[in-house]
Each structure stands twice: as C-alpha cells, then as structure tokens.
Amino acid sequence: MQTNDPAVAEIVDFISGEVGVDSSLLTPDTPVAELGISSLDLIETIFKLETRFGIEIPNDGPLNGNDVTVGTLVDHVADLLAAQKAKIA
Amino acid sequence: MTARVAVTGLGSLSALGNDVAAHLAGLRAGTVGIGETQGVDVSSMKTKISAEVRGFVPEAHFDPRQLGLVDRTSQFAVVAARQALADAGPVLEGAARHRVGAIFAASVGSHAVDDSYRKLYAEGAPRPHPFTVPRAMPSGQVSHITMDLGIHGPAFAIASACSSAAHAIGTAFHMVRAGMLDVAISGGAESQLTYGMLKSWEALRVLSPDGCRPFSKDRAGLVIGEGAGAVVLENLERARARGATIHAELVGFGMSADGMDITAPDMASAAAAMAFALEDAGLAPEQVGYVSAHGTATALNDRTETAALRHVFGAHLTKLPVSSSKSQYGHTMNASGALDFVTTVLALREGFLPPTMGFREFDPDCDLDCVPNAAREARIEAAISSSFAFGGLNAVLALKRYD
C-alpha cells in the first residue's frame, strides 16, 4: 500500500469518507473489523468503491473473508484500477 | 389443560418435485435439485444456478381468470395447502368455522413487483398491471388459501425472513395446543426467482457460484430456491377420534431474537431458541435423534450453528445426526421453515436421516455428523427443525414420532 501514490491516496480518502474513519487510522495491517467495519459494512463499501471508480470487484477475490485488512482492500482496488487504465490505454 | 397437536396433513413443492411423494423420494435418493436457472435470464449474472420448481403448470391448478390475481408465490402456497388438506382427509367436516385457522409466511409477490416495475421503468409503460397490488401483497398467499379451501377462522401472515414459515407453524401450534383451534393449516411459500431479486442477492455477496455445500470446508454460500410447504395441524384427540393418519406429533416451539445484527447470526441466541424448543417439548437433549439444520452453507452460518448445537447438546452432538436439506432444494427463504418441517416429519415417520449433499471436505469448525452425501436408515424418537433468519429472528420446532 503505497500511500504516496496519488491513486492509493484517493482510494484511502474515499474509504475514510464513506466509513467515517480518519484516514490516519487506515494503516495497511489494520484489519477493517478493528475499525468497526462489519462484514456488511465492507460489502457496502465495496459496492461504493465499484460505483465510484467504475470497477467490478469479484466475489471470489482477496476480499472474500472475515479478516480483510485495510492494505488488502486498498491494494485490490488499486490493482483493479491500474488494470482498467491499462485496458483503456 | 393444553391439547396435544398432531400433524395430519402434508404438502410440498420444491426443486425435489411437486408433491410430498416426490419430496420423500428425492430426500431418500439424495437428489440435488439445483441446476442452471431456466426461468430468469441469468446471462448478466455471475450466479447461474438456483433450485427451481420445475414442470409446474399454473393452468393445471387455476382458472385463467383467477391466475392474473395470483403470484407464483401464492400459486405454490395454494397448491401445497390443497395437498396438505387432501392428505388430512375430511378434517374440516364437523369443524366450527371459527375453530379452523390458516397461518402462513408473509412473502412479497416478487414476480408481480418485478414484472410491473420493469414495464414501468425500463419499458416506459404508462401504467403497471392493475393487479400488481393484490398480487404483491405479502398476505396474498394466506388470503388465497382461505378462499380456495373455505377457511373462515383466524388467518394471517407472519414475516420473519427465512424463519417466517417456522414462526407460522409454531404460532398455529400454539393456537391448537391452547384449545383455540381444532384445525390449523400452516406453512409458507416463496419464489424470489426474479431478475431483480437474483441481482439483489448477488449484490449481497452470499450466493454460491457452484452448488450448496453445507458444513463442508469449501462451502461457498447459499443457493436460492423456491417452493412451498404446508401442514395440517390438528387437536390430537380429535384426529384420533376420526381415525386420521398421524404423521408425527408437534411437541415444542422455541423462539429468540439475537438483537444484534441485520444479517450476521449469533451463537448464543440460536442456542437459546433450540433450548427453549426442547424445554417447551419436555425433551432432554439426549432424546433428540435428528436435527434438520438451518445450514445455509455460508461460512458464518454453518460455523455459528455448529457452535450453537454444541452449546445445547454437548457430548450428545457426537451421536446426533444434523443435516441441511438446503443442499438438495436450495434456500427457499420464507418457505424453508415449512419445507424443512415436512422433511423432518418424513424423517420421523419413515425412519431415515435426510442427507447433506455436496459435502466434500471436513471443517473443524463444523465438527458434526452431517449425514454426508447419502441418506441413512435410522429410527428417530424426536427431532428438531431450526430456522435462523436474517435479522436474528429464530424459530425452532420440536417433533416426536407418533406410533
């Protein structure tokens, strides 16, 4: 999770705004559950990320599970965004 | 003085078949009714499978003029209720009209909503079908049953998501046991197999792409089914006096609310519902010989349900078969409590354990005898059927074999 990458920073800011958690707490190794994000909250956050960035986050990817960390979430979205940009380019 | 309550009629429609004989044959044979969805265009969906009722011809059961008012959900309910009543014989003869009731699950007519809103929003129709409201209303199924069977006593519908039919049967049980009713027809139907509902379930990320494998380590979520279950509950002395066939005796009903989360289950609350059902039935845990589990095949449900079973049954759980018939006829939502009840009655009456199909890999978090992949013969004295709904509304029914 490269926090100095503007794409990553944008994802982190978006998640921070959606879940109401200060972005300074969104560190890579923190399990999202520890931030008070339940599995249902995570599903809604994934949906909002899909809508905001125009991507599709698969069901059977790295976010499928109950021990997702902030880093896993952000990196997965960043990867999908990068793949999408590569496809368009 | 409370009355004993007999089960004297059964009806069912599911992916296992369109009557109780087919249901029983499917349970015994380990038939899996899950397959590629045919009734809905699933080309834009990740999840292509469901557990559909196949070969159901509405025109064979309803007049064409009547059909326009009856959603697929209510069609299933009426057909299953007719089967249950026919099975019970002349149960309504000599019954006072205020002492025969009908209590069913409350299920939105999803097909009516889906069809009408698609025409309205997507196709720009100026107005929806004029029968959208009567077809969609959640009390539709019980209203149609009362009209069809000529029932004039207490009748209403109960909503508790996937526990709806179990709460309905339990409430009907209370009314017969308390002496308020001589006869109650109860159960539930639901068909959520519409484009909008399948997409909505998919968005919730709980659907399995490739089959229903309860308690298996590689389980991947639930499979949506459709169907109906119906039962006739009757004052046991009355049933005996008229020489009715008694399929089983309904002896206990336990309820609880998690009060925790709108989707995640709670171990302590699920355990409490099972313990209350046993207490109500006057059954010791060791007397129970079979559990028809909620067993949705989501990672969280099956793990939580296993922990709850261990909490209630302790060491007895090692000898207690627990299976999930959702592996055969999918998760039929508001119908599931009724279909599982029918399944449990058949297990008691016929002396066998319905299997958990699709089982592939042992999960230490689901340390159960889940009757993997094949039915077994077993003489069962007592059994429970569990429903643990979204939103933490739990209903557990306890039954005894009747000899």
DSSP secondary structure letters along B62-104? S-HHHHTT--HHHHHHHHHHHHHHHHH-STTTT--GGGEEEEE
pLDDT tens digits, one per residue of B355-403: 999 999 999 999 999 999 999 999 999 999 999 999 999 999 999 999 9
Q: Which residue of B has its CA nearest to A43?
A: B204
Q: Which amino acid is located at B303 in the chain?
A: R
Query: Pairing state of beta strands B352-353 and B376-377?
Result: antiparallel
Residue A41: pLDDT band by 50, 70, 90 thresholds?
confident
User: With an 8 Å Cβ cutoff, is A51 touching chain B?
Assistant: no
DSSP B318-375: GG-BEE-THHHH-B-GGGHHHHHHHHHHHHHHHTEE--BTT--S--GGG-SB--BTS-
Q: What is the pLDDT of residue A2?
A: 81
Q: What is the pLDDT of residue B116?
A: 96
Quote the tokens at residue B86. 């026919």
Q: Is B294 part of the annotated catalytic residue set?
A: yes
Q: What is the mean pLDDT of residues A9-25?
A: 92
* pLDDT at A24 exceeding the cut of 70: yes
* pLDDT at B120 exceeding the cut of 80: yes
Q: Which amino acid is located at B209 in the chain?
A: P
Contact assignment for B205 to A40 by CB distance below 8 Å? no
Q: What is the mean pLDDT of residues B21-34?
A: 98
The answer to whether B14 and B338 have CB atoms below 8 angstroms apart is no
Classify residue B76 as exposed, middle or buried by CB count within 10 Å of its CB (0-12, 13-18, 19+): buried
Q: What is the pLDDT of residue B1?
A: 65
Contact assignment for A60 to B261 by CB distance below 8 Å? no
CATH 1.10.1200.10 describes domain A6-88: yes
Q: Name which of A73, A25, A76 is nearest A45 in CA terms.
A: A73
Other beta carbons less than 10 A from residue B348's beta carbon: 23
Q: What is the mean pLDDT of residues B246-253?
A: 98
The share of chain B scoring above pLDDT 70, in percent, equals 100
User: With an 8 Å Cβ cutoff, is B261 touching chain A?
Assistant: yes
Say whether B378 sits in a helix, a strand or coil: coil
pLDDT tens digits, one per residue of B257-274: 999 988 889 999 999 999
Residue B266, C-beta contacts closer than 8 angstroms, at least 6 positions apart: B258, B260, B304, B392
Q: What is the pLDDT of residue B65?
A: 85
Compute the mean pLDDT over every residue in chain B, rounded to the nearest whole number. Answer: 97
Q: Is B373 left (phi over 0), alpha (psi -120 to 50) or beta?
A: left
Residue B208, C-beta contacts closer than 8 angstroms, at least 6 positions apart: B47, B49, B219, B220, B221, B222, B223, B297
Annotated active-site residue in B162, B212, B366, B370: B162
| Phi (first) and psi of residue B121, to 5 degrees | -85, -45
Q: What is the pLDDT of residue B185?
A: 98
User: With an 8 Å Cβ cutoff, is B45 touching chain A?
Assistant: no
pLDDT tens digits, one per residue of B63-117: 988 998 999 999 999 999 999 999 999 999 999 999 999 999 999 999 999 999 9
Q: What is the mean pLDDT of residues B285-295?
A: 98
Contact assignment for B264 to A59 by CB distance below 8 Å? no
Contact assignment for B261 to A38 by CB distance below 8 Å? yes
Domains in chain B and their CATH numbers?
A: 5-241 (3.40.47.10), 251-400 (3.40.47.10)
Other beta carbons less than 10 A from residue B147's beta carbon: 11
The share of chain B scoring above pLDDT 90, in percent, equals 98
* pLDDT at A40 exceeding the cut of 90: no
Cα–Cα distance measured from residue A61 to residue A59, given in angstroms and rounded to the nearest whole number: 6
User: With an 8 Å Cβ cutoff, is B262 touching chain A?
Assistant: yes
Q: Name which of B280, B173, B281, B278 is nearest B235 in CA terms.
A: B173
The answer to whether B6 and B231 have CB atoms below 8 angstroms apart is no
* pLDDT at B352 exceeding the cut of 90: yes
* pLDDT at B275 exceeding the cut of 90: yes
Q: Is B162 part of the annotated catalytic residue set?
A: yes
Contact assignment for B46 to A47 by CB distance below 8 Å? no
* pLDDT at A66 exceeding the cut of 80: no
* pLDDT at A14 exceeding the cut of 70: yes
Q: What is the pLDDT of residue B307?
A: 98
Say whether A24 sits in a helix, a strand or coil: helix
Q: Is the ipTM of this complex over 0.85?
A: no
User: With an 8 Å Cβ cutoff, is A43 touching chain B?
Assistant: yes
* pLDDT at A89 exceeding the cut of 80: no
Contact assignment for A38 to B264 by CB distance below 8 Å? yes
Q: Which residues of B touch A59 (CB under 8 A)?
A: 46, 205, 207, 209
Cα–Cα distance measured from residue B108 to residue B128, given in angstroms and rounded to the nearest whole number: 17
Of A38, A47, A64, the CB nearest to B203: A47
Q: Which amino acid is located at A52 in the chain?
A: R
Q: Which residues of A touch B390 (CB under 8 A)?
A: none
Cα–Cα distance measured from residue B215 to residue B291, given in angstroms and rounded to the nearest whole number: 14
Chain A closest CA to B205's CA: distance in Å? 6
Q: What is the mean pLDDT of residues B51-57?
A: 97
Q: What is the mean pLDDT of residues B8-20?
A: 98
Read off the DSSP letter of residue A55. -
Compute the mean pLDDT over every residue in chain A, rounded to the nearest whole number. Answer: 89
